[in-house]
Amino acid sequence: MHLADGVLSIPVVVATTTAAAGILVYSVKGIDEEEIPKISLMTGAFFVSSLISIPVGPTSIHPMLGGLLGLVLGKRTPLGIFIGLLLQAILFQHGGLTTLGANTLLFSLPALLIYAVFGKRKRISMFLKGALAGGFSIIGGVGLLIGVLLLTDQRFGEGFFSVVNMIVAGHIPLVIIEGILTGFAVSYLYKVKPGLFSYKINTGKERVAN
């Protein structure tokens, strides 16, 4: 789902970069030193998993881990995603620097929504919570990706074999696969280390997602 350099128009690059900067400010506000190991761990997992990709037009298909990151990191998710994307762009030319803001938004916004919806106490199993989060992270990211591409050039959506149609078709199986894998991952991690799903709140206490 990484957008490469040169794909987006300058106005879209400016708008997405500005929006991403705002989300990063929100993400790092009030961060504690004890949160850094968990952020580093999930950033590393995201960095490695999203390097496995299949090119599709101006973007790519690969695991996102947005659901898992959203449930584990909460509002810190954009910070981990930004660092992972920046390292990928610099070290492996995966994605781009001019599209770094757009790519950060594509991954971060669905994950933040997952945090807002599922990060609170819900009377559903951790497997179902993870499965829904994993599937939605793909659906939300693809929807944002299509919107950004069409804002740049309507021709991305023209024709039966358009870039938009190929992106949608390519991500359908990934919705199912990532949903199931995230469900198992969240269920297992919650059993062995439930504190991994705790978030700092305004009172300075921790809230565990369950």
Query: How confident is the model over 27-73, as pLDDT tens digits?
Result: 999 999 889 999 999 999 999 888 777 777 677 788 888 999 999 99
3-state secondary structure of 200: strand
pLDDT at site 122:
64
CB-based contact 88:95 (threshold 8 Å): yes
Residue ranges of the chain whose pLDDT lies below 70: 57, 120-122, 199-210
Closest CA to 139 of 82, 180, 179: 179
Q: Find the helix or strand (DSSP H, E) in which 119 lies.
A: none
The pTM of the full predicted model, rounded to 2 decimals, is 0.86
What gap in Å lies between CA 65 and CA 134, rounded to an integer? 7
Domain boundaries, the chain: 10-208
Predicted pLDDT of residue 121: 59
Tokens of 14: 């400016």
Q: State residue 203's pLDDT score.
A: 40
Whether domain 10-208 has CATH 1.10.1760.20: the reply is: yes
pLDDT score recorded for residue 119: 75
Q: What is the DSSP string of 102-158?
A: HHHHHHHHHHHHHHHHHSS--SS-HHHHHHHHHHHHHHHHHHHHHHHHHHH-GGGG-
